[in-house]
Amino acid sequence: MTHRAPDTKHFYQNLWMPTSGDQMTFLKNFREESLKKLEKTPFPTLKHEEWKYTDLTDLSTQAPIQSTLSDLDGLTPEAVYPYTFNQMKSHVLVFVNGYYAPRFSTTHDLPIDMCVESFAEATQKDPDGIKAYLGKTDKKGNDYFSYLNGAFFTDGAVIRIPENYQCERPIHLLYLTVGNENLRYSAIRNIILMGAGSSATVVETYDSLDRKPVLTNAVTEVFVGENAGLRHHILQLQNEKSLFFGSTNSTLLRDSRYLNTWVSLGSRLSRKDVDADLTGPGSNCQLYGLYAGRDGQLMDNRTVITHHTPHATSNQVYKGILDDESRGVFNGKILVAQDAQKTEAHQLNRNLILSDKAHADSKPQLKIFADDVKCSHGATVGQLDKTAMFYLQSRGIAKEVARSMLTFAFANDVVDSIILGSVRFFLYKRLYNRFGRDWGSAEDFESLHTMKE
């Protein structure tokens, strides 16, 4: 079958760069440079190695419509509130279709020396500080959508944690979408800067306020300073008519710690790229991923961990649960540079297939140029354990209940990597519904899962 490369300009003909009069010169230059790169980058097809499992032919014929600030008109706190983790005391920034919504956000109690604000606000206050980091972690592999984001993003969040500051309250970045009869485009750009010796927890949530399709394109750049620690949880829960393309690119310095949890339940098609550069000895990177598809959902996951220096460690566990006619992709790579001696890196991808028509593609990779390392990788694709099913049913548990119990247990260790009880509670509820299990009361849940933060 021949896949002809589509006209790359057609796809973004209805998008435009924000042109506010006070736009900083460096930001204008960044957008224009991104557009130049975009014009030279072909739309991804199955011929591209990084996209060989994900067919975007149908998408390539569309031309998404730029969202506008008027998309926030008529929204009420009552509409937004169910999407927050209401039991969790946190600093919250809310965005709708890529635009900051301050009236739904909670930032009044921020410590005076900490920065959690919209990209537009941060750029006005400290243009040199933003210029120093913007685009510095962009990676190959997701070029087209990264350049698309760079040219047309509307807003995002900037988080700066000062040196030696321990941020007790989690920071919640909530991205909601509102659609209409046309495919809307929502683009977000985030920067997270962790000062030396600092620590924080950041949660990104992507969800939909209605059942209409929106294409979300989100890029988050993460810089973890020496001896700093960041726990970063990202939940993709958009409606199943939407599309999601996201990248998280991180740089880790000496003795830093980075935990990234990616959970994908929503969107008709989702693609997530996670890149981590371990540039300092003693740095540690933990990646956890869960993608649970149903109907015709396609969930594509790509990870790259690069060890540049000795004595760094990494571990990644990605799990897929695929039902009906859904498809899951894991394309993970560990690169160990020649000088990165004493590296320890492990990678595991496991897939649970619940239907004869579900499908999983797994491509774990190791590229090692050092000779004194401990590295491993593995992948499995299988079905529910028949022995376990028989055991549960022999004790009076209905077949469907036994099925959902085992499915839930399969996902459990990834969900448990989220340290916030309120987020786990929120996610468990979504998973219970996804796996067809009776949710029961909150008391029932608490007896099974701790909700302590």
pLDDT at 187 exceeding the cut of 80: yes
Q: What pLDDT is recorded for position 332?
A: 96
Please give the pLDDT value at position 225.
Answer: 98
Check: CB of residue 328 under 8 Å from CB of residue 357.
no
**Span of 28-37, 74-83, 258-267, 357-366 with lowest mean pLDDT:** 74-83
Output the average pLDDT for the chain: 90
Q: What is the pTM of this model?
A: 0.93
Cβ atoms of 313 and 343 within 8 Å: the answer is: yes
Residue that wins the pLDDT comparison between 9 and 61: 61
The closest alpha carbon to 161, from 221, 83, 224, belongs to 224
Name the band, by pLDDT with cuts 50, 70 and 90, for residue 451: very low
Q: Which two tokens stand for residue 444?
A: 């029932």
Neighbouring residues of 339: CB distance < 8 A, sequence distance ≥ 6: 308, 309, 310, 370
Averaged pLDDT for residues 358-383: 96
Q: Can you give the pLDDT at residue 1?
A: 44
Whether the pLDDT of residue 445 is over 80: the answer is no
Q: Is the pLDDT of residue 309 over 60?
A: yes
Sign, CA dihedral 330-190-420-83, equals negative
Give the pLDDT mean for 117-142: 86
Nearest to 313 by CA among 344, 286, 354, 348: 344
Strand 99-100 and strand 91-96: pairing? antiparallel
Q: Identify the pLDDT of residue 110.
A: 82
- Phi/psi for 103 (5° steps) reads -70, -15
pLDDT range class, residue 434, cuts 50, 70, 90: confident
Over residues 150-167, the pLDDT tens digits come to: 999 999 999 999 999 999
The confidence score (pLDDT) of residue 108 equals: 76
The secondary structure of 305-341, three-state, reads EEECCCCCEEEEEEEEEECCCCEEEEEEEEEECCCCC
Q: How confident is the model at residue 107 (pLDDT cuts 50, 70, 90)?
A: confident
**325-345 per-position pLDDT tens digit:** 999 999 999 999 999 999 999
Query: Mind listing the pLDDT tens digit for each residue in 39-97?
Result: 999 999 999 999 999 999 999 999 999 998 888 888 998 899 889 887 678 899 999 99
pLDDT-wise least confident of 56-70, 238-252, 399-413: 399-413
pLDDT above 80 for 319 = yes
Averaged pLDDT, 239-262: 97
pLDDT above 90 as % of the chain:
74
Highest-pLDDT range among 142-151, 284-293, 392-401 = 284-293
Q: Decide: helix, strand or coil at residue 127.
A: helix
- Characterize 189-216 residue by residue with b for buried, 16 or more Cβ atoms within 10 angstroms of its Cβ, and e for exposed: bbbbbbbbbbbbbbbbbbbbbeebbbbb
Edge-to-edge strand order for the sheet containing 257-264?
99-100, 91-96, 171-177, 199-208, 229-236, 257-264, 284-293, 313-322, 344-353, 374-382
- Per this entry, what is the length of the chain? 453
3-state secondary structure 135-175: CCCCCCCCHHHHHHHHHHCCECEEEEECCCCECCCCEEEEE
